[in-house]
Structure 1
């Protein structure tokens, strides 16, 4: 595309965005506008057309690493980095919210903390949150990253974290990519086994929170699963 054509397209995209706002754009139009505004020397339309052909949806494109886009799918490097940042920056912002949450003394705070860690993750991950005797957060980290709908954490890794941070309490949390928050059989087994494992080390499992993009479930507050946490 000639430079004058690129300029005309950029001006048209800008005018359409100003006139109609974000809500008036499709996902692909929004991405084209974003690439156009951030990478003015690139052919935003050509990049967007290539992405649509290869990944079919913006959500699929955001899941692909920048390195794969560049090396395998021949996407412009700056565009690949930009698309990767579209996912990483919101995740970082959500995680940053937890810096203001020091104590997890209520179920509501536990859910808020777990949601900030997990709600924007694109694959299933397991988080382990360690608390001291006052239920102050002393460590929170991801301990497993799985496929799109499955992750598993090893007992040795959990034991190692307990040994390092010496918490009084632990909260486990993981995300579901699907719409359901209902714990699976493996979720229930993992919770029971984790409670037994850390109990032998003198640590109490307070909750296992399941998060998806629309909400969260506390297993400790659930009628069907609260028995796991009752001593």
Structure 2
């Protein structure tokens, strides 16, 4: 690799140090994550090509697997893992920015807490928010992880967790990787099963959310809870 390319690859780092991280473009940030370009492209040019392929959308980029990333010329396994790792750190950070004791008064409040955990997944996961009597969040938990089409939750595990945290209300949620917001027959059945079980324990099922990449469906808002 020529001196010209090495200098080109170093420029985002120099800009980071001299002007700060906020001055960097998306392609420059990605270039720093990758560390270097290829014989034909600088790191910035390679990063720009990758981002262009996903319409410069970080969420779309996070959906690419290591094998998907390695299809780009100049991206080997190490660079692909570095990119995926950085995006996963960003996803976890976004999830931690939600205050643990936030209060939920409407379905969108719950969605804002859960979307960072569920919206970009390729397989289904089942999560629950556990609330106290004031509808403040006291615990958030992933209960199951399934395949592409379904993730079945064990109601006993759900209510054991609720009892362990002295919860009086729960909001359950799962994602539909297909993007289809409509509840399935199984979704409706498990919702009623959990609702009825909660009555016995005096733990109210407040809502069930189906989450896709860009939106959500609320059983409570739709009047089917």
Name the TM-score, length of structure 2 as normaliser. Answer: 0.70
SS in 1 for 2:189: helix
Residue 103 of structure 1, CA deviation: 1.0
Counterparts in 2 of 1:170 and 1:12: CA distance versus 1, 3 Å = closer
State the Cα deviation string for residues 105-152 of structure 1 (Å, max 9, x = none).
Answer: 233322322334322333221111111111111101111112233212
More displaced stretch, 92-101 vs 131-140: 92-101
User: For 1:60 and 1:22, how far apart are their aligned partners in 2?
Assistant: 16
What is the count of residue pairs matched by the alignment?
Answer: 198
3-state DSSP of counterpart to 1:182: coil
Alpha-carbon distance in 1 for matches of 2:66, 2:152: 22
2:130 paired with 1:130: yes
* Aligned pairs (5 A) from 1:57-136: 62-64=63-65, 75-77=76-78, 79-99=79-99, 102-136=102-136
Gap runs ≥5 in structure 1: 14-20, 24-29
Compared CA separation, residues 138 and 8, structure 1 to 2 (3 A): closer
Partner Cα distance (2:117, 2:62) in 1: 22
CA shift for structure 1 position 61: 7.9
Q: TM-score, normalised by structure 1?
A: 0.68
Check conservation: 2:124, 2:146, Cα contact below 8 A. Answer: yes
- Are 1:37 and 2:36 an aligned pair? no
Deviations 1:137-192 (A, max 9, x none): 11011111122332122223213212311211010011111222111111111111
Counterpart of 1:27 in structure 2 is none
Compared with structure 1, are the counterparts of its residues 113 and 41 closer, same or farther at alpha carbon in structure 2 (3 Å cutoff)? closer
2:139 alignment counterpart: 139
Contact 1:62 1:84 survives alignment (8 Å): no
Change (3 A) 1:156 1:89: same
Name the SS for the 2:99 alignment partner.
Answer: helix
CA RMSD of aligned residues (A): 3.7
Change (3 A) 1:92 1:106: same
More helix by share: 1
Map of 1:207 onto structure 2: 207
Gaps of 5+ in 2: 13-23
SS at match of 2:201: coil
Moved more, 202-211 or 176-185: 176-185
